[in-house]
Amino acid sequence: MEASANERPDFGKMGYGCKHYKRRCKIRAPCCNEVFDCRHCHNEATNLLSNHFDRHELVRFEVKQVICSVCDTEQPVARVCTNCGVNMGEYFCEVCKFYDDDIDKGQFHCSDCGICRVGGRENYFHCKKCGSCYALGLRNNHTCVENSMRHHCPICYEYLFDSLKETAVMKCGHTMHYECYYEMIKREKYCCPICSKSVTDMSRTWKRIDQEIEATIMPEDYRHRKVWILCNDCNDTTEVFFHIIGQKCSHCNSYNTRTIAPPVLPQ
């Protein structure tokens, strides 16, 4: 007796799909009526169009039809093919119209985010103020920024909320891709591109600058000159002695400062 599609090894999981997902179906894009392996394939294809007005992104929730990769049967969204009975995705989310055979990712649907996440539900919590799921290690251990994930990465400008890449949450609460974060650090840029606060412990660097300033005597004309500074780390405004190497915040000892105009005193 001939084996069913689910029993044939060549129809097993991880045998179909694209570079984004392994799955046994394709989707018909409701926006343009074209067939693609997944929504990311659709978005990449339309972004390459020379006509700006034809560029658009697929809304995952609007997908109504899928095509089984095993028997080519087009049908309404469902986990199992109505024709050959193959399971079109080991993980299936009816809300997101999402299929994925690689269940080792630990996919789960977050109703607060409104989309599917990876990494295992038990390893994440949803921060309602930040508006996204974060690793458990950040629970009560991060600075909340309202809707911190609903913006573009400040380095590569890809939208973060539903990006496939891992995201870093910095000390200031702002977010960016991990790979962009480490590229920034590798280039010795240690300030958040959004708010300019230090993203790592800079205490050793501040001590080194202290030593450099102590060893560098300013010319007599500048030795007693003062300037007003704003500290990017603690937001304090102070008047300090000017030095060519840097100005130190007298409140938090940070050199992550910038000179500003003197404050206007009330009459």
CB 56 within 8 A of CB 95: no
CB 11 within 8 A of CB 24: yes
Q: Give the three-class secondary structure for 255.
A: coil
pLDDT digits (tens, 9 = 90+) for 217-263: 999 888 889 999 999 999 999 999 999 999 999 999 999 999 998 87
Among residues 81, 105, 129, the one where a domain terminates is 105
Asked, for residue 199, whether it belongs to a domain, the answer is no
* Residues 81, 45 share a domain: yes
Tokens describing residue 81: 């093919």
Asked, for residue 3, whether it belongs to a domain, the answer is no
CA–CA gap between residue 65 and residue 67 (Å, rounded): 7
pLDDT of residue 3: 46
* Residues 115, 70 share a domain: no
* Residues 77, 18 share a domain: yes
pLDDT averaged over the chain?
Answer: 91
Residue 66 in this model has a pLDDT that exceeds 80: yes
Among residues 87, 105, 123, the one where a domain terminates is 105
Give me the amino acid identity at 149: M
pLDDT of residue 262: 83
Tokens describing residue 222: 């500048």
What b/e string do you get for 6-21 counting C-beta neighbours within 10 Å, with b at 16 or more?
eeeeebbbeebbeeeb
Give me the amino acid identity at 106: G
CA–CA gap between residue 59 and residue 114 (Å, rounded): 13
Residue 204 in this model has a pLDDT that exceeds 90: yes
Residue 1 in this model has a pLDDT that exceeds 50: no
Q: Give the confidence band of 49 by pLDDT, cuts at 50, 70, 90.
A: confident
CA–CA gap between residue 29 and residue 34 (Å, rounded): 5
Asked, for residue 196, whether it belongs to a domain, the answer is no
Residue 37 Ramachandran class (φ > 0 left, ψ -120 to 50 alpha, else beta):
alpha
pLDDT of residue 253: 96
pLDDT of residue 22: 95
| Bridge partners, residue 180, by sequence | none
Q: How many domains does one find in the chain?
A: 3
CA–CA gap between residue 236 and residue 161 (Å, rounded): 32
| Bridge partners, residue 117, by sequence | 108
Q: Which domain holds residue 227?
A: 219-260
CA–CA gap between residue 8 and residue 28 (Å, rounded): 26
pLDDT digits (tens, 9 = 90+) for 22-38: 999 999 999 999 999 99
Among residues 83, 105, 127, the one where a domain terminates is 105
pLDDT digits (tens, 9 = 90+) for 168-202: 999 999 999 999 999 999 999 999 999 999 999 99
* Residues 115, 101 share a domain: no
Asked, for residue 4, whether it belongs to a domain, the answer is no
User: Span 156-161, mean pLDDT?
Assistant: 93
Who has greater pLDDT, 13 or 2? 13
pLDDT of residue 52: 67
Residue 65: name the closest of 21, 32, 43 by CA.
Answer: 32
* Residues 77, 34 share a domain: yes
* Residues 134, 118 share a domain: yes
CA–CA gap between residue 152 and residue 187 (Å, rounded): 21
Q: Give the three-class secondary structure for 127.
A: strand
Q: Give the confidence band of 50 by pLDDT, cuts at 50, 70, 90.
A: low
Rounded to the nearest 5°, which phi and psi values hold at 207?
Answer: -65, -40
pLDDT of residue 235: 95
Asked, for residue 179, whether it belongs to a domain, the answer is yes
* Residues 123, 83 share a domain: no
CB 245 within 8 A of CB 208: no
Rounded to the nearest 5°, which phi and psi values hold at 2?
Answer: -70, 135
pLDDT digits (tens, 9 = 90+) for 134-158: 999 999 999 999 999 999 999 999 9
pLDDT digits (tens, 9 = 90+) for 80-101: 999 999 999 999 999 999 999 9
- What percent of the chain lies above the pLDDT cut of 70? 92
pLDDT of residue 57: 87
Q: Give the three-class secondary structure for 25.
A: strand
Residue 26: name the closest of 74, 62, 61 by CA.
Answer: 74
